[in-house]
Structure 1
């Protein structure tokens, strides 16, 4: 349970990181718009970091897979991650330790268990630090004097802040003049009216969960900055532009004060005084078209990043038979028919297996990773290129590759077409010029029970990844001919 929760948090943290980068970019584009729009965008980040699921939409703007780490990765024979970024998938997956035959526990299980312990210790350390900070702050508030309503004045603080959730209290330095007190009090009351004090506390607890992610720390402080600036703008909008100088002076009067630690739960103060003053002095009532464009941009980007990409039926976790042979390189003497062609098993963790008609056991060929190829690069793999192969290549949307690492440098391309059909190309790269020998159209034959074949392969031979020994190469009429033995 602990490890599964940790893996789920890693998935949310990865997706949240991508959304954070998108929001940071949008903040730059919205720098002329009121800060309330930038502040609103951080709600999408909060959603992604808290909610382990979302809705699917064809209009999703999320450029990656929302669940790159499979929940059962620790039990996979060859662990794979699927971020949607091919280069990252190859680097990360190649560094993950595979299962050890006949071992009682997989190495990755140990990694994940230790990682989950470190994650929990980090959460505990942050919470304890905040609790002690809160206790220390309450001691300093022992001399606070009630002013009116929920407002308190205290000589031992130098910066105003809000404390509490259900009945939040406003604490102000007793050194504020009458005008400064009016402006700062209105600012803090605006925070409470917008429920910013609750948002800040929730953000802190989300930060505790994702403490290991530096982008989440950046989002925590940037969102706090947008919160303060949008609140400043709300005050200026209410009082009018003529108070901008006086309001800025009140902020400057507090600039030398000790800032309340942003991570202290149930209390938060003000920060980035210089940036806030510059924003106040430059604030102008935006034109209607600016508001309209900013509003539409926030709505489109917000909904687009909240939605997961819509995907069709997954081609993994199934056994396939060869339904049609679309291409058979003419320079080879041996060929397959649909009756004699092998079966293929693509496990849920993207590991490819093959079973010849004469065999009883599945042979592990290797792990699949995304392998982008241009249309022309696909065409050059076929010599000569016939019409069937050409027509089917034009319909391919995603390509995955597995390398057998035998002496013929055999590679397998699994191609997913736009209509959901699956093609499999079997090729060689031993001569330095990769070419395809067969191109099959696959037909889903069965859904293996718990993918039993994939989880318990029986490797044959001594080549890498448990592949069969490479077929002998023989030169015939200037071509490399591979005989079936």
Structure 2
């Protein structure tokens, strides 16, 4: 849950910059561009806010999928330099330009006394928990309010059977090409006309006498809401606000989005009409505004924005001629959001958020995503086996790693990356176990896993290769196991698109076997 919270926090930061820019430019945008384009901008941003993924996440997922489709390449040529060829998924991507560092106090473990043992939590865990509770609470309140109000409408309302109103609704459905059925209900406690209902739309009208012309405008306004499925978009805005409730700008964005929804609907009602019709429409809105006294539910098209917002709607209707298309504004917003999403990030101590969120626990308990070898290798590599026990020849869990790092293993099994290979010797970037309590352990590591594979201190180790050394790789980095000749293995290294963690068997300082570690 902490990783999800950090992902949400990053997206909230990047989108806040876009929302701030739009808020500052709102007077200019409203003057020059039709409201429907700004409305689509809010819809895009709301979608971005509820999808906690970055562009690099999508790219890495695509790269992983493509790697699983590619067969193992075999050949007999070395690269001439004795080094593994570079080419990592996502390598060359721009680094985060705006980094918000999470204080170390937020990730420092706090041990709590419990009945059956101690529980270790961090302030970041507490913040993530409070975020989740707040998110669920806001969504729950809105859902309860909607269900309660809809039940009141069904109990206290009466189905409209007035032939004139029904004929107006039928005519507007043909005009607007609306195929879905809608039930018209008269509810005395309704504050204003509205559309509500997600699967069975209901048109709710207050119990009032309407002038025929005003009734036409009211019905057309609500039928346009129905055609555009604006109740679903209000649900989207509410969800985005609930997920990012800790960000004040998201509350302002939701309010501005609902206002632009009404402005764009007004533009659609009066599209192609003359000044006289627009004036009559504003008079209908004004009469409705004077009679509004009760609030409905936020998950409906009911709207009451106060005097200033109604004046804004009137100006937009009467002065709405000659406004430009806002397609360019929408395109710029999309581009800016994507760019900022890849530039803005969080930092946990000495590691970035990608190091934390990139680790995935496998069914066998192994952890994906270890530290690199210090030579630019990717972080999304498998972190060894699934048990907490140390492999033969490695430092035991909990041992002093600074001493272990200075002792070069001569026998047994170690894990490492190959930074050089020529058939006679291999340069091994040795990886060491880190466990909670050791000096190599960092707060962002997965404490539940009980270990993390980290880069050993000191220079890479050059080992001679035994004459009977065996080489094993995994087809498509999964299975089955393939046995290669030294020449084929050298070619395999040069054609790899990302570093692989190898299991290396040592005997009297010589390499007896090199096997590719399973990569899920």
Q: Distance in 1 between matches of 2:273 and 2:256?
A: 26
Q: Distance in 2 between matches of 1:23 and 1:262?
A: 29
Q: Distance in 1 between matches of 2:429 and 2:293?
A: 63
Alignment-derived partner of residue 225 in structure 2: 191
Give yes or no for contact 1:317–1:448 (8 Å, CA) kept in 2. no
Map 1:421-460 onto structure 2 (within 5 A). Answer: 446=429, 448=431, 452-453=433-434, 457-458=438-439
How many residues are matched? 314
Alignment-derived partner of residue 98 in structure 1: 108
1:181 to partner: Cα distance: 0.8
1:170 to partner: Cα distance: 2.3
Instruction: Provide the TM-score with structure 2 as the length reference.
Output: 0.51
Task: State the secondary structure of the residue aligned to 2:46.
Answer: helix
Alignment-derived partner of residue 265 in structure 1: 299
1:193 to partner: Cα distance: 2.0
Alignment-derived partner of residue 327 in structure 2: 295
Alignment-derived partner of residue 111 in structure 1: 126
1:37 to partner: Cα distance: 1.6
Give yes or no for contact 1:260–1:268 (8 Å, CA) kept in 2. no
More off after superposition, 155-164 vs 119-128: 119-128
- Compute the RMSD of aligned alpha carbons: 4.2
1:256-307 residue CA offsets vs partner (Å, 9 max, x unmatched): 2336647533553354322211221222133xxx43xx32232122233145
Q: Distance in 2 between matches of 1:458 and 1:358?
A: 8
1:280 to 313, 317, 323: 317
Residues 267 and 138 (structure 1), Cα distance of their counterparts in 2 relative to 1, 3 Å cut: farther
1:234 to partner: Cα distance: 1.6
Residues 140 and 96 (structure 1), Cα distance of their counterparts in 2 relative to 1, 3 Å cut: same
Give yes or no for contact 2:134–2:245 (8 Å, CA) kept in 1. no
Give yes or no for contact 2:134–2:242 (8 Å, CA) kept in 1. no
Give yes or no for contact 2:35–2:264 (8 Å, CA) kept in 1. yes
Q: Distance in 2 between matches of 1:161 and 1:118?
A: 28
Map 1:36-435 onto structure 2 (within 5 A). Answer: 36-56=36-56, 85=98, 88-89=100-101, 92-99=102-109, 104-108=119-123, 110-112=125-127, 114-115=129-130, 116-142=132-158, 145=161, 147-148=165-166, 149=170, 150=182, 151-173=184-206, 174-258=208-292, 261=295, 263-266=297-300, 268-271=302-305, 272-286=309-323, 290-291=324-325, 294-306=326-338, 308-309=341-342, 317-320=371-374, 359-360=403-404
Q: Distance in 2 between matches of 1:154 and 1:121?
A: 29
Instruction: Provide the TM-score with structure 1 as the length reference.
Output: 0.54
Alignment-derived partner of residue 335 in structure 1: none
1:182 to partner: Cα distance: 1.1
Residues 447 and 7 (structure 1), Cα distance of their counterparts in 2 relative to 1, 3 Å cut: farther
Give yes or no for contact 2:198–2:231 (8 Å, CA) kept in 1. yes
Q: Distance in 2 between matches of 1:246 and 1:359?
A: 86
Residues 361 and 186 (structure 1), Cα distance of their counterparts in 2 relative to 1, 3 Å cut: same
More off after superposition, 149-158 vs 30-39: 149-158
Task: State the secondary structure of the residue aligned to 2:322.
Answer: coil
1:6 to partner: Cα distance: 4.3
Q: Distance in 2 between matches of 1:254 and 1:447?
A: 75
1:35 to partner: Cα distance: 0.8
